[in-house]
Structure 1
Amino acid sequence: MAALEEEFTLSSVALGAGPDGLLGVEQSDRADQFLVTDGGRSVVLYKVSDQKPLGSWSVKQGQIITSPAVCNFQTGEYIVVHDNKVLRIWNNEDVNLDKVFKATLSAEVYRIHSIQGTEPLVLFKAGAIRGLEALLAEPQQKIESVISDEEVIKWTKIFMLYRHPLLLFITEKHGNYFAYVKMFSSGNLSKYSLLLGQEEKPVTLNFTAYMDRKFISLMSLSSDGCVYESLIPIFSSDTEKYQRVVKSVLLKAVVSGNVGSGAALAILDQDHVAVLGPPLSSSKDCLSIWNIKFQTLQTSKDLPQGTSGQLWYYGENLFILHGKFLTVIPYKCEVSSLAGALGKLKHSQDPGTHTIPHFVNWETSQGCEPRLQNSEQPRRILRRKAIEASLQTEVPASEQLFSTIKKDSEKHIEVELRKFLAVKRTPDFHTVIGDVLTGLLERCRAEPSFYPRNCLMQLLQTHMLSYSLCPGLMEIALEKSDVQMLQVCLQQFPDIPESVLCACLKIFLSIDDQSLQEINISMESVFDCSDAIQDEKMEEQTEILQNGFGPDDDNCSNCNQSLREKPRDASEEATPCPVIPKRAALLNAVLHSAYSEPFLLPHLKGVPAQHITLFLQYLYFLYLKCSENATMTLPGIHPPTMSQIMDWICLLLDANFTVVVMIPEAKRLLINLYKFVKSQICVYSELNKIEVSFRELQKLNQEKNNRGLYSIEVLELF
């Protein structure tokens, strides 16, 4: 899964971009600072976190910057080329570029590459490459021609291979494209011809690449709207003559055909690429992230002000020229796997229970023929025959049920469904259950007054469903505010989207107490939190363990004193539960649900402030109860864990901190949370001291060789 976060403008001043946009965005020697070279005369150093420029340098009138400025990571200096041959080097203290170091070269420069771990490399338009130090020692040295006449460099990228730089550059001649790989560890230069594998030759708009062990994966975005991939070997067997590499289609129709030059491509990791350009059947620019492993569109963002067709990426930030302003769009890419798409997995499972299939077995679905492998063919044929034999007796029953769902009353459907669920289950039973539920949901949409709640609950009781199998179930439950059904879905479905999870949370917090009292809700995750019972339990205890927490501590200096002092009476510290037990049970179902933090945070911003405060108060109450015993756990059958409580406190504060700070009712709560964190820091600080003391003692024992002699040592920890 991938997500594009909220964008922000790096500078409020319009950049002097040329007709082709900016020359480049390059990282400086500090991770948060970037050099932006416009299409004219200026270089600006920006700090992304502050969204402001730190310095600006310009060449004098009549001069034009022809290569983007880069940073020399070995010295911290900046390098730029203007008028194709003039090289300038300066640092942060310099103000006027006309007075900094200058070197005039003997050949035109295409661009300068700089990467951590090596000196900057200068690539000339003729294909020759020189190290910066050797070039500065003799600026007028002769530069040889590597590429042929009329061959033009289109794109280039530098990599690090075993602590040595490797430079890849792409050239074009009469519509044919070539790839050159220069290895500086051996000095070899390999040339490859990029073949499309078909007669048509669409114009290549943009390139991107990443290196993986023995190959460079070169991806290209073409005018036909497709992304192609070429695997270029790093270690070539024949460096005398160029070899041929076939381009294969990686993604089809990611942008509209005949888009022109306003499109760009950037590979974010081995499974995700970012594409800048208008999507199919649209003329508006759009930024999208595609999963090349599963061939799916992950997320997209419209760019109404238009772009220059340029895209840069560093760390987890994408840089584009949106209109006339340089815009930064943070992004997140999770591990590309079907399991990863489900978010966080459930923390635990009850002992003695068996794993229940939550998803459809596509090999046994009706109308689908399983693909047979040679090694498994006999077993699968026998299994398919067994399924077909068992279905001969069950198909009439299922067909009769489907017919009943379409026309009969809710009461009659409920009776027929109960009969169907009582028969012997077949291997494809979960598939039939999904079809039955789909039929019920379709009739619910067609007839607003039709809501067979008892039938839906019966199907949920089979534990054969998941959100991906029946997404309409929770949608209808949300429309009807059926909190009992939503609670059951949250308890059973491991693949609920974050938007639906947040919608459930809004309903659980907004429904009034009187309505909740009339609803049958599972209370197994809720313990009795009445003050009387809690006070009685506290009086029966001979000692109260506080785990180093003192609610009224103002600073760390009081922590030691609070640890030695006798705790106050339990009744003075008892905190009433801010919600009724049934609402607590619903909120606990949310705490137990799977989620992915980057995708949940944007939806939490839409929860009303008073509901956020109520949820925080409940989480704070749970945290207090967890802190009252040494095991740091709550009583009950399926209570929330400390990890879940802390994760949700952090989520709510991250998403709504600015709003919560402005609410008077939340002031005391925030102060209590602050004291909690402060006291825990003190406790962990003391524990670290003890740990260090034990480590030192262990070292002393290892150094000493007592040869079996008996000795007594006293170690004072405080």
Structure 2
Amino acid sequence: MARLCEEFTLCGLQAADGVHLRAVNVEPARPGCVLVTREERTVTVYKVSDQKPLGSWTVKQTQKISCPAVYNDQTREYVAVHDHKVLRIWKDEDANLEKAFKATLTADVYRIHTLPKAEPLVLFERGSVRRLDDLLSAPQQELENVLSKDEVIRWSAALLEAGSPLILFVTEKDGVFQLYTQKLNPNDQHEYKLDLGDEMGCPLSFALSLEKECTALMCLYSTGCVYKIQLPSNRDSAEEEWVLPQTLLLKLPGCVDSLISAALLALDETHIAVLGAPQSHQCAVKDSLSIWNTRFQTLQTWKELPEGTSGQLWCYNGKLFIPHGNTLTVIPFTCETSSLAAVLGKLKQPSATVKPLSPVMNWNAMLQDQQTGEPQLAVTINPVESTPSRNLRSRKRQNVSTQSQPSALDLTEIKTGTNEKIDEQLTLLLSNPLETNAQLMIAQIATILVSRCMAQNTFYPQNVLVKLLLTRALSYSLCPDLIAVALDKSDYYLLQLCLQQFPDIPESVLCACLKFFLSTSEADLEKVIVDLGSVASYMELDQSSSKPGQNMEIVENGFSSILVEEESSDAPAEKQAQGSWEFDVKSVCPVGPKKAALLNEILLSSYSDTFLLPPLKDLSAPQVMFFFQYLQYLYMKQCQTVNTVLPGDRIPTVSQVLDWINLLLDAHFMVLVMMSEAHGLLEHFNRFIRSQVRFYSELNKIEGSLQKLHQLQPQNDGLYSIEVIEII
């Protein structure tokens, strides 16, 4: 059976006229990546798992990529052809395509084919085939014309046959289709005629099927028929005209009218993917993807594509790539080995030694202690031994000093004891080596204590909860109510520990903590305990920068207050005079050290943009402005250093700060636009971005000069020169 998995979007595609998509092509690149040639001018390499572009290159506006780019895994280079004859070769570190290697050929190129661990092959429009290295050594070499006049290539592919590369391409002339095979080592070319019956229609799509011992060509015709063309293994060069017979593999239903645009791909020996054909007689929708079993001629799975397709289909690493609407969609798939028993559901699994199942613990019952009325802490399970598991009972305290094994804890003390008794019992437990199921033990204790805190307002064992957190055995999923209790008790230190220790805090809970920290006044934090961490490290920078005698202007990492003011000379004077949200490099931190440490824990927490944006919109406008003020300060403080990293351990990076700034702008942009006091803040961000763009623009200008200086040959006369490059 075959199955289509959940689809996702790799990238967007621009529509040429609102209906038809521009030409796009997908080729494999380095592991886990694909190379997308689109919009006739752009080449982009994407990491499929992250849907993230790793590099993009564009030719001039007057140029056009006529041959899709490919990746040469032998040299780790990209190869493309623009304007039919101009060959370009570049690497990942090449930023400008105009500065890449260029070679002008003598004939128009149809396609470049790559093979694993083999040299790329270049197929020209007139049928000539050359190795890429041979062309680079002599770009202006004469090329023979294999095809006759008005004969056009419709499809081509490459494969390895007996270790030697083989090029196959299909041509058309006056409705007659020919198949050519070209082998370079040794040089061997053959020509075959495809047997087209009157009832077959016109070929729409070709696909190469690699079977165990032979190679076959599959063809989808406009009548909805899929034929298989077996390539001969022994090719007789003396044969003048060899007509290849075709075998009907599959008749697609619902193709009463002729198909206009469709695509065909061979997934394995028995499964094919068809794009642009109805999957049944009752369904008239042709914009769909279907997978068929050619051995039993059965439909395995299908997927409707309501936004339309361009009739293009690619398959790499178990994923189908389809231009769908204005996006390039990726659909993972799986195909199982086909057999009659599997189709009928009678396939027997191979006999194997059945391993005994390990005992399964009921985690919820053990955490809530619902199995028995006796106080029990945990169950130790040994999956190797067949002896039944035993409950660990607590011993009397007078025997604790003489026991050699780690002591267990009486849950009666946890459920009914005072804070002092619980603290003593926990200290006793943690002083000995913990059991193998220590995480379950600690989670059970924390759950019982939190339940008591929620039921009894006067009960709050803060020291015990801190000790449990410091064991690093808890997580939010093990004790989800702990943060709620800490928020209710206004325990800042416990909240800080939870943010540091829990990797699975939901985004809604994270926003609740952020809202709580922002609404807290500095006076409330004076008497509470908060781990300052390394916050004082960059706040001391403020104090040192305000000392007398330090008037040196900082011009590092592209930031300069003078440059920002120059860029803002066109701003209204009244806006420049606003001091409420205008930033001064020498200003102090807008929050105290304790609140800064708490906000840093929020910035360092893990989150997902999709789930964080909705609860982030619940922040009030004053809270958003206050948080923006701290993010702005932190961002500008980081930009004063070349490394963009402030001293200390738990300090947010510049990327994390920028991500939160973007999140706040996305969640509250309309509110910020409507607030007059926020205009200075938005204007400052705009000016700073313009200054950064100007700085990096100047760097790009001197990049070429530095490369030329690096390529100059050293002179032997012993003379040298010193050049000073000033960034204005």
Q: Normalised by the size of structure 2, how large is the TM-score?
A: 0.48
Rg: which structure is higher?
2
TM-score (norm 1): 0.49
Greater RCO, 1 or 2 (C-alpha within 8 Å, sep 6+): 1
